Every structure is written in C-alpha cells, then in structure tokens.
Amino acid sequence: MATRAVTPRPLPRIIMLGLVPVASWFIVRPFLDPVPALPGLFISIGFSIFSLLATLYLVPALGPTFIQAHLSGRDLLKVYSTPIPESLGLVCASVYILALILFIPFAFSDSLTIRSTPTPEGISVPEFPHSRLSVYLSSLLSLLMATILGFLDDVFDIRWRHKLPIPIVASIPLLMVYFAERGNTHIVVPLPLRFLLGSLVNLGPLYYLYMSLLSTFATNSINILAGINGSEVSQALIIAISVILNDLLYLPWPVGFHLPVHLLGSKAEVEFGGVWSAGMAHGSKELVERHLFSLYFMLPLVAVCAGFMYHNWYPARAFPGDTLCYVTGMAFAVVGIQAHFSKTLLLFFLPQIFNFVLSCPQLFGLVPCPRHRVPRFDMDTNLLHPSKAQFMKPPASLTVIVLRIFSTLKLVDLTVHPSSGVILETTNLTILNFLLILMCCQVRNEFFLSCSAGLTIILGKQIGGSILAFTVRYGLAGLVYDR
Amino acid sequence: MATRAVTPRPLPRIIMLGLVPVASWFIVRPFLDPVPALPGLFISIGFSIFSLLATLYLVPALGPTFIQAHLSGRDLLKVYSTPIPESLGLVCASVYILALILFIPFAFSDSLTIRSTPTPEGISVPEFPHSRLSVYLSSLLSLLMATILGFLDDVFDIRWRHKLPIPIVASIPLLMVYFAERGNTHIVVPLPLRFLLGSLVNLGPLYYLYMSLLSTFATNSINILAGINGSEVSQALIIAISVILNDLLYLPWPVGFHLPVHLLGSKAEVEFGGVWSAGMAHGSKELVERHLFSLYFMLPLVAVCAGFMYHNWYPARAFPGDTLCYVTGMAFAVVGIQAHFSKTLLLFFLPQIFNFVLSCPQLFGLVPCPRHRVPRFDMDTNLLHPSKAQFMKPPASLTVIVLRIFSTLKLVDLTVHPSSGVILETTNLTILNFLLILMCCQVRNEFFLSCSAGLTIILGKQIGGSILAFTVRYGLAGLVYDR
C-alpha cells in the first residue's frame, strides 16, 4: 500500500490523444468560413482542452522534481506515510496563466474581427475593444502575483498573520488599473432602501476596499476548507462551473427557451438564448462582453482544476499547496470585479460563507483552535470522525451560549461532563465536521464515511450551494432588484 | 572570520531616515502648484528612493528566512564556509515590481494631467495616453514571469538546456501584446545598404524572433558573467545608469548645451536639453514619451540594484541567485523593445557581447568547459588567479588555431608542453580571466588582485564599455544612420 501512493495515476492515453484533434479543431474553426458568432469563445475552448491535457500530463511528470526540492507533504488522512509532492497547484497556475497569455492575440487583435462579418440578425459582438486589453492584463498580473505569493507561502511557510494581506497585495494591480481607467464605483441600491439612498450610490474609496476584501475572502474561504484529498480543487471546480453556467445565460444563442422562474416569485422570466435578445443580456453588448470576459477566464480554470483533480482524487498522488487556493480565489475575484457580478459570485460561495460564519468562534478565540481542524481518520475502521477541540478550563459564559445554540441547531456535537454539565469538548466548527454530524444522525447514528465519501460530501454540498445560488439569483433577487 | 559573513552589514540609520522626507517630497511635489513639466518623473524618483530603502532594509531582514527554506549558498571565493542566503534577487524583484505597480495610477490616470497646465513654451507632455497602459502592463507581466521563472530556477535548480528558453517564455506577454496592438515591425536600414533594401524594411515575424532573442541575450549575458561578489548586480547597475543617461538626452530640459560630437565624425551636434527641442527628441512627443517610459522602468531598477549591492559587496552578505539576472535582463529587454532603442541598448552590452564571443569556443565544445569558470581564489595569498581548463587529450587542430589566435591577442594564457608544444591547459575563456591576464601582464607580471579589486575591474570595464557605447551611438552612428 505504501507504494500505491507514490505511483502516479495512469493516464488514459487514447482519451488524451483523442482530445488533441478536438482542441485543434476549436482553435482552427474561427479561421474558416462561415465565421462563428463568437470566434474567441471557440479558441478559448480549444486552449482550455490543451490546458487540461497539459495539467494531466505535467502534474505526475513534475512530481519527483517537487519532492527533490523539499516540497512534499504527508497525508494526514492516510495510513501510509510516503512523501507526496506538495505545491503542485503551481503547475496548474502556470498552465492556466500561460493559456490566458497565449490567448491575448486571439481575443484582442483585429485578425479575427476583420474576418467575422456581421451576423445577419442579432447583436454582433466584435470581441473586445482594445481598451479592455489593459483590464485583461491587470487581471493576469493579479493572477500571476497570487501565484508567486502562493508559491512563496509554500516555500517559506508564511505565518498566518502575515498570510492574510497576501490576497490584498495580489489584488493591487487590479485596483490600480481600475483606478487609472476611472472604473465605476457606483452600486445599485436594493429596492427597499431606495427611498433612503436613491437608486445608485457612489461608494468611492469604499468600493476599492470592497474589491480587495472580495479577493481576500475568495482566496481564504477556499483555503480554510481544506484537509481532505481534493477538497480545495473540487470547491474551485464547482464554483467555476457555476460561474460558466451563469455566463452562458448572457450569450447570444441560436436557440432560445424560458425557465419558469415566476414559480419562484420572480416577475420576469429567465430567457435563455435567442440571438436578438442575447439571453439575459437583453441585447446589451456591454453585458455580453463582460460575460465573455468571465468565460475566457473560467474555461481554462475548469480545465486545469479538472486535470489536477484527476491526480488529487482520493488517494491523492499530488497536493495542491496554497498556490492553487490563491490562484483560483483570485480568478474568481477577478471575474466578479471585472465582469461586475460580484453579488452573484458571492452566492456561489454560500458553503464557504456558511463555513466562515461557523468558524468565527474559533477564528476569534472564543473556542480553542487547534492547528488542524480536518476530520480525524480512524486507521482501524478506515472511517472519518469529526475532529474535536478540548477545553483546558471551563469555557466562558459567552462561549457556552454560542455552543449551546450551535448544538441545538445540530451544528456541533458537545461532550459534556456527566454530573456538572460543563462543556469538555466540542467538534471543530467547520462545515466538514458539521456534515459528518448531520449524516451520522440522519442515517445510521454511526460514523460510516470513508475518505472518498468525504470528498463526495464536499462536492455535493458545493453543487447544492450552487443550485441554491441560482434559485436566489434568478428567483428571489427579483424581489429586491429591478432585474 | 566565520561569523563576519553572516552578520548583516549595518545600515546607516541617519541616511535611511533622512531619505524618507526626500522621497516623500518627490511624490508630493507634482500635486503642488506650479506643477512641474514632467510630474510623473518626480513621482518615479520618489518611488525609486523608497525602493532603495525597502531593499536596503528587507535583504538582511529576510536573509534568515531564505536560509531556513534551504536557499543558501557557500561562497566559492571565500575562506569561511558559513551559509549565505541565496536567491535574494527575489526581494529586489518584488520591491521593483511592486513599485512599478503602485506607480500605475500616477502615470496613467487623469488626476495628474488635468492639473498640469500646458507649459508656456516647449512641447507639453501630457504623460501617457491610456493606450500605453497595456504596453506598460505587458512589460510588468514579462518582468513578473521572469521573476517567478528565476525563482523556480533557484528552487528547482533547472538544468542548463531547460534554462535557455526561460527568457523566451517570460517575453511571451510582451510579444503577444505587441502583436495585439499591431506593433511596428519595420527597421531602419543603415545608409550603406539603402540602395539594396530601401530606407525601411518590414521584418514581420523575424522582428518577434529578434525581440525574444534580445530578452534571451540580455538575461543570459548577465548570468554568464557571474561568480564574483557583486558581479551580476554591478553589471545591471551600470547598464541601467547608462540607459538613464541616454534617456535624459531626450527629455525637455529648462537649460540646454551642445556636445561637440562633430569631433568624433558626426555631422549633427548632440543637443542636450532646451524645452522646445526636447534635446535629442527634436520636438517629437513620441520620442519623449518613449524615453519617459524607459526612465520609469530604469529608475527603480537602479534603486533596487544599488540597495542590493550594498549587501552583495565583497564580502557578500547575500547572493542574488538567478532571479536577479532574469529580472534585470528582462527589464533591459523591455525598455529596449518598448522604447525602441534596442540597438543603443546592445551597445551598453558591449562587455557582455565581448564575453559571449570569447566564451563561444567553450560554449560550443571546442574547449572543455568546467562547471564553474570563475577566477580561482588562493586562500594563502588572498589573491585571484585566472581559472584554467585542462585538455585530457591533445586538442583538435581547429581548437589549436583558435587558441593560438586568442593567445596572440593576449585573450588567454596557454600552458604548453615544454618539449612537444602540445597545449595542456588554457585559462577559461571569460572576460574576467582575460582582464586578470591583462592586468598582470601590464602591471607587475604577478596576480595581485584581491577579490574586492576583482569587482572593481568589473565595474571599471562596464563603465568603460558604456563610455565607448555613447561614443559609438552619438559619434560613429552618424556615419551609417541619418541621425
């Protein structure tokens, strides 16, 4: 069993070779007549497939090099203890950013737009104006800074309090260019508050604070929910796919259909597709451009995450390190900010927000916080148990109140002194432990989950969160916003 | 003596504290009336002074962290063998790039240009148009990629043949944006060839090849001339200062004077300064903008190089690692390409070009090439000697011819079998060894140079090279180019 962990997962050769012509077709297609409506999107898909292949191939190929450079970890949840290469998120980040850089001439040069004749009906999207190039480049700069800072974190093992400002530093290029380009700092006021504030409010400098906090949140909220093989990358993957699904609603499609969201209380239908209306964009070129921008960043991200997940899946052959969390978090912040759908983005982070709120008592010192809060692995039974934090002395009254409330809501499992009723232990306040408690209570009153199942929970809760997010965004949002 | 190497060089506190108000004044000055003609330049100088202070402070402060992360080296030329932190070029690069990023809103926003009233006489330079922002950002991307690749080289110790393409990869953002912006690929033909090619030739794709080769050359030529404390950083420093001096010739100055270059054979005088003529720019806004761009990149580079040199000076308290060579080389390539003076830039690389040509027989396998070609240090006498390469078997006839020619030109010192005349040894073919041979022959016929003096030679030859470069550029160039 000890050797199994270090043997790279075999690559399905036929699939890999088969994908090369598919990817090539996507890249060549826009140069052939008739030119498709969105030539850049074809090329982006082509590059994404190549990124997937590169990640699949490079992660196992570079693993030994990382181990040699002292970048390896031991799996906290495994019975064997052979070193597994750590920080391979760097490979994902490099492939991702290189794909985005090589994409520049296709997205921004005239070579494609000159060829694409205006479509006979519907809005024609002449890809990006050159002014958007600096926005694209500043996003790349932020991603690259997140990569280098994440990797430095892996190499130097930066302390927690020095870590927090890292995403803020990485978001500086974004903010600088946003400022230099005199970016919009107005926000739309929700309907119930309009009598007080009007329909638009200029946040000014506060908007820059909001943007840097968004990148901090997106980065750290993924990082905080780590500890099970594949947990970081699967969160990123599901969020990225959710963003892509949301973007697709705004593109001009040759077909169209309606989603019956009036059932959820929305006044307007969700119109999906139709060249004239460009789906939810309602004919707005600006909106189509923004969501194309988002797609260009999300498609290769999904590709590298999927490629890495293949090797990071239980039992993991490679660990992501902090680099992956930083880069994916920054990528989400970038599209949320630059494509102006940060509120929708935050909805996709619902599980992370829940985890953050749940963690607050431990983060702010009410409850003791051990170094690792990941679920505990029982070697004998091969099962996962919620990990626990012990109270060395009887907890303060505020802590008791909070924990009692959490316990009533079935968020934590408390160990109480049989006679005095003093709280001795609590399960660590993370969404993973919460889900373990939830599952065992509802199903067999016993911790039955294997590690692999643990990952399935994460995937499940993230997908569930995204479904909820779509419901809120296109159903309930109609109650507080115009559309 | 063993402890001396690891004790950081003390910082002159009074000077450091004294520089803070100076730097602050430079940053605040453009916001006060009367607004100076080039407000961005003031702010760039202010940021550069802060970069100098940051580098001076951070290099010794972060040294122990680098040693902990297995990033330390032993000095090949020192008697003591305590570990000295390696790769601290990363700190320089980070400070440098952060300064350039924070400079963005000052260089590109309207906040400054709105305030600056047109000057009563002379060309007014409304700083940069927004279209130049993407050029600036692509340069930053290339610098950041050079940083991350250089640091990866330090961490993973990449093999030589994998190293060569690194600068090409780092220059991709530059090339992509150059292409997307439909950058100029024409070159001016020298006068003697015009009857054949016309006055302009479009190189097309060859121009992109030229640009990527320029970055490869600028990077590796500094890296190849390493091995003495301070050699990498001092080369970069002198070249950067030379570029700055060259840029200053093109700025609008309130005073003006002429250099009598007709003595060197040039038809036109070098006019320095004068608001109307903007010095060598002859009233061309375009030229002033280009050289401002170059100054914005070179001023902070000089600052971080000077700050690092303080700690890298013999005996070195910190080593630069490959990161510094990559970043400085890429910075030179960036300004050469974006500000369109790559030919002038190459003139400043004359010592490096000489070193490269001299090294060719070893690089291409005619002469054996040991792992290190740095001059040998004699512990007993504390003197430097030229290092030697030994022939295991009698050299081929081509090698003999080349070495005999080099020997006649006093470029190498050969050890010949007394009776048979077969070449047994040659000094390694580097400019450092060549200078050691030259000095000893001319001065006392004995190797008398201490390590510190060795560095002085490098500085001297680089400064001499730059003086020669200026002579060629503004004297002899008039013979083959219009101006």
Mean pLDDT of B446-451: 42
Extents of the domains making up chain A = 12-348, 365-453
How confident is the model at residue A461, as a pLDDT?
74
B129 close to A (CB below 8 A): no
> HSE-up of A144 (CA within 13 Å, CB side)?
30
Contact predicate A88/A66, CB 8 Å: yes
How large is the average pLDDT for residues B27-53?
88
pLDDT of residue B445: 34
In the predicted structure, residue B444 carries a pLDDT above the cut 50: no
The share of chain B scoring above pLDDT 70, in percent, equals 77
Helix (H) or strand (E) holding A209: helix A205-224
Residue B89 tokens, joined: 């070029």
Q: Which of the pair, A319 or B122, is modelled with greater confidence?
A: A319
From B102's Cα to the closest Cα of chain A, the distance in A is: 7
Q: For B274-280, what is the mean pLDDT? A: 48
Does A105 contact B180 at a Cβ distance shorter than 8 Å? Answer: yes
Enter the DSSP assignment of A369: -
User: What mean pLDDT comes out for the span A12-21?
Assistant: 87
Does residue B274 register a pLDDT over 60? no
- Tell me which residue in B104, B130, B138 faces A131 most closely, judged by beta carbons: B130
Per-residue pLDDT band for B425 (boundaries 50, 70, 90) equals: confident
Residues of chain B contacting A204 with CB distance shorter than 8 Å: none
A144 in B contact zone (CB under 8 Å): yes
Q: Which residues of B touch A208 (CB under 8 A)?
A: none
The model's pLDDT over A160-173, given as tens digits with 9 standing for 90+, comes to 667 777 888 888 88
Closest alpha carbon to B309 in B17, B16, B52, B48: B52
- Cβ separation of A98 and B141 shorter than 8 Å? no
Strands A84-85 and A186-188: unpaired
Q: Identify the pLDDT of residue B3.
A: 43
DSSP B394: P
Between residues A151 and B118, the one the model is more confident about: A151
Q: A30-44, A461-475, B16-30, B117-131: lowest mean pLDDT where? A: B117-131
Distance of alpha carbon A170 from its chain centroid, rounded?
A: 17
What distance in Å separates the CA atoms of residue B146 and residue B73, rounded to the nearest whole number? 21
Mark yes or no for CB contact B140/A181 under 8 Å.
no
* pLDDT exceeds 80 at position A240: yes
Instruction: Give the Cα separation of A209 and A218 in Å (integer).
Output: 14
Question: What whole-number distance in Å separates Cα of residue A168 and Cα of residue B414?
Answer: 59
Which among B91, B94, B223 has a CA at the least distance from the CA of B158? B223
- In this prediction the ipTM stands at 0.81
From A67's Cα to the closest Cα of chain B, the distance in A is 10
Question: Residue B138 above 70 pLDDT?
Answer: yes
CA-derived radius of gyration, chain B: 24
Q: To the nearest 10°, report the CA torsion of A56, A57, A60, A65.
A: -130
Residue B110 in contact with partner chain A when CB distance is under 8 A: yes
Range picked from B78-82, B107-111, B269-273, B436-440 for highest mean pLDDT: B436-440
**Closest residue on chain A to B153 (Cα):** A69
Predicted confidence at residue A317, as pLDDT, reads 83
pLDDT level of residue B22 (50, 70, 90 thresholds) = very high
Confidence of residue A25 (pLDDT cuts 50, 70, 90): very high
The closest CB to that of B137, out of A98, A141, A155, belongs to A141
Q: Is A30 left (phi over 0), alpha (psi -120 to 50) or beta?
A: alpha
Phi and psi torsions of A376, nearest 5°: -85, 140
pLDDT in tens, A103-160: 988 877 655 554 444 444 444 445 456 667 888 999 999 999 999 988 888 888 777 6
Collapsed DSSP state (helix, strand, coil) of residue A184: coil
Q: Is residue B89 within 8 Å of residue B304, measured between CB atoms?
A: no
Average pLDDT over residues A186-198: 78
Residues in chain B within 8 Å Cβ distance of A173: 101, 104, 137, 140
Going by pLDDT thresholds of 50, 70 and 90, the confidence category of residue A334 is very high
Among A53-57, A454-458, B296-300, the minimum mean pLDDT is found in: A454-458
CA distance A147 to chain B (A): 9
- Nearest-by-Cβ selection for B176 from A104, A148, A156: A104
DSSP B473: I
pLDDT band for position B116 (cuts 50, 70, 90): very low
Nearest chain B alpha carbon to A182: B109
